[in-house]
Structure 1
């Protein structure tokens, strides 16, 4: 990720904070390279098992081009897809956790290595999010591929 791309991504991410400037300063000084950002304002996050999330990212990229931002934890146990705000309140899928209004998530600084959570698909700063319908179809495709032993 270029410095310009990282700056645009940071600008977009901190826009979710109640005080974007304070958030940016704290984030840039954090030795772990992570920040807590509030979900439900600009985006929600749908969290699935990593063994389904990674294949779903591949399906989305193949079928739709670049998906919205996607996080993974340090062991690839969980994958988090950034979706439009309000999605969590209406999501009915089983095995999917949601971070929406009133929740906070750990977000790594774009373009910096961290020892924990990391970007599988970093934000590009444009505000692109993953379409929930496309994500649901990609998750179904990932389950089907897993069940076929692929």
Structure 2
């Protein structure tokens, strides 16, 4: 693991661990995921996979904005978006979960998958997160698109 971006991503993620050095070493040994505490440096908004992938696609459409760190769990069929801690407002919707202060999240290293978890957009180490306002809009648009597709497939 010599890529400087990966190293910055490891250091940034590991900062959420009770022992950042031990966390980075565990990833270096290839031990897979670690549990990191949400609510200090970031929260996670988790949504069903189809909704999350479509929302991420919508987020990539903005040429002036790079999406923040985004995880996919292929076993749980969920996508997780890292957002600032205690984002303003309320995360609601079918299947939407918000992990904030007091929650622990399984996180793989930013440079390789670990079991069913992997980064779609790995953290770059610069602290970039999803904007809650922009993410809510993308999730709303993705939900509307999925609703239209569901009605079309029923016909």
Fold match (TM-score > 0.5):
yes
Distance in 2 separating the partners of 1:4 and 1:76: 31
Could you say which residue in structure 1 is the equivalent of 2:19? Answer: 19
Could you say which residue in structure 1 is the equivalent of 2:122? Answer: 122
- Residue-by-residue CA offset, 1:54-80 (whole Å, 9 max, x unaligned): 000011111253211001102471010
Describe the SS at the equivalent of 1:72.
strand
Distance in 2 separating the partners of 1:77 and 1:125: 26
Could you say which residue in structure 2 is the equivalent of 1:46? Answer: 45
Describe the SS at the equivalent of 2:44.
strand
Distance in 2 separating the partners of 1:65 and 1:58: 12
Distance in 1 separating the partners of 2:133 and 2:2: 31
Describe the SS at the equivalent of 2:68.
coil
Could you say which residue in structure 2 is the equivalent of 1:80? Answer: 80
Q: Normalised by the size of structure 1, how large is the TM-score? A: 0.89
Q: Report the alpha carbon displacement of residue 35 of structure 1 after superposing the two structures with TM.
A: 1.0
Distance in 2 separating the partners of 1:66 and 1:37: 24
What is the number of equivalent residue pairs in this alignment?
Answer: 148
Q: Normalised by the size of structure 2, how large is the TM-score? A: 0.87
Describe the SS at the equivalent of 1:148.
helix
Structure 2: segments with no counterpart, 5+ residues:
none
Distance in 2 separating the partners of 1:92 and 1:41: 18
Let me know the Cα RMSD of the aligned residues: 2.0
Which of the two has higher C-alpha Rg?
2
